[in-house]
Amino acid sequence: MIAMLLMIWPALAIQAKRWHDVDKSAWWILIGLVPAVGGLIALVFNGFIAGTPGSNRFGPPPANASVAAPAMARS
């Protein structure tokens, strides 16, 4: 129980960053509260949809992402 409570804040921060990667507000975290389909929508957007290429309204991509992307494209 204590471990779960300690993991809530980092989990929310990571999910907010991922929502920003797909150019959506962090308020989309609340979609997980919708029964049945909310968790599925969050899973699809956070797990399977690629982030916005280049900058979006939340800023530029992290420095490591711009370096790793061309290497992956060559494979």
pLDDT in tens, 13-56: 888 888 888 888 889 888 888 998 988 988 888 888 877 777 77
pTM of the model as a whole: 0.66
pLDDT single digits (tens) 10-20 = 888 888 888 88
Domain annotation covers residue 28: yes
* Counted domains in the chain: 1
Domain that holds residue 17: 12-48
Domain annotation covers residue 18: yes
Q: What one-character-per-residue DSSP string does 5-69 give? A: HHHHHHHHHHHHHHHHHTT--GGGGGGGGSTTHHHHHHHIIIIISPPPSS-BTTBPPPHHHHHHH
**For residue 37, how far is the Cα from the chain centroid?**
18
